[in-house]
Amino acid sequence: MASGSEGGFWLPPQGSTAAGGVDGLFDFIYWLNVFFFVLITGAVVYFVMKYKRKSDDQLATSQVGHNTLMEATWTFVPLILVIVIFAWGFRTYLNLTVAPEGAYQVKVTGQKWSWNFTHPDGTVNTGELHVPANRPVKLLLSSRDVIHSFFVPDFRIKQDAVPGRYTTAWFQAKAAGEHQVFCTEYCGKDHSAMLAKVLVLSEEEFDAGKWKVSKPPEGMSVADWGGDLYNKVGCKACHSVDGSKLVGPSFKGLFGREEKIQGQDPVMVDENYLRESIMDPQAKIVEGFAPAMPSYKGQLDDAKIDAIIEYIKTLK
Ligand SMILES: [Cu+2]
């Protein structure tokens, strides 16, 4: 469910305070284009018909020289229009770029293929960014591997997440609700699965801090929560649950089997091995696979790791 006012025919709902300004400029440029398209093609069609040579013996019409008034008009009217678009665009851009003082700051880290959100008190969430409604939120973005781009259409914000440097973006959500996040910089095989949600809570709900507690949502078993995390945290991008081989081995039938490890003795897959595979993936590389898995140390707390392990156990 998206919340906020409607965005119009072309655009998603306006979920942030900045969205109205962006849409206003978009609509202005759009209708300006429609106006001139109709005017110019209309004139072309009209003149083609009006000045068509009517018969073989009709003489060529005379050449037309300068018309200072017309030339001045088609120079200065577009000049004024592009200056208006520039000034309007620049103001809107600055408004999108410069976060207000005292904004709530969240660190956003992109990695193949998930988004991690670190809150000021150290709470880390993957795939879900919890923010309060009606309060400015500043994002400090970076990446652990390649260039990603953080895009929230409902908020009209899009910013690159670049390894080795910080970029910023900010927004103020208008109401409680849920908004889709995309990665919009092609970053490899599962780029299109690099999704997250912005969960806007009412200020009271946000301040109460219940969202920080790491436990399954109401009425969900631990294993089901693990399955939910498997989707949200991004394991799904590299690990199937149906036995098919992706970037990493499938989780199907993994628990309890004997796994061949490159350059080491085979291991029995138990809870400790699964935990180590998640926290320190390079410690034991499975035979036939590349060391392509990022570590989830500092991103998944014990409760979440336990839940994922419980989920893997159910995949017989
Ligand atoms: Cu990406």
Per-residue pLDDT of 33-62, as tens digits, reads 999 999 999 999 999 999 888 888 888 777
Q: What is the CA(251)–ligand 1 centre distance, in A?
A: 23
Per-residue pLDDT of 105-159, as tens digits, reads 999 999 988 999 999 988 888 889 999 999 999 999 999 999 999 999 999 999 9
Q: What is the CA(184)–ligand 1 centre distance, in A?
A: 7
Per-residue pLDDT of 286-308, as tens digits, reads 999 999 998 888 778 888 999 99
Q: What is the CA(195)–ligand 1 centre distance, in A?
A: 9
Please say if the pLDDT value at position 165 is more than 90: yes
Query: Is there a contact between 150 and 158 (Cβ–Cβ < 8 Å)?
Result: yes
| Alpha-helical segments (H) within 51-154 | 68-97
Domains plus CATH for the chain? 1-46+68-213 (2.60.40.420), 222-314 (1.10.760.10)
> Residue 164: left (phi > 0), alpha (psi -120 to 50), or beta?
left
Q: What is the CA(3)–ligand 1 centre distance, in A?
A: 25
Q: How far apart are CA 55 and CA 81, in angstroms?
A: 42
Per-residue pLDDT of 72-86, as tens digits, reads 999 999 999 999 999
Query: Is there a contact between 272 and 209 (Cβ–Cβ < 8 Å)?
Result: no
Q: What is the pLDDT at residue 6?
A: 65
> Of 20, 198, 7, 184, whose CA–CA distance to 104 is shortest?
198
97 φ, ψ (degrees, to nearest 5): -95, -40
Q: What is the CA(300)–ligand 1 centre distance, in A?
A: 20
For residue 162, CA distances in Å to 97, 140, 149, 185, 234 come to 17, 11, 8, 10, 19
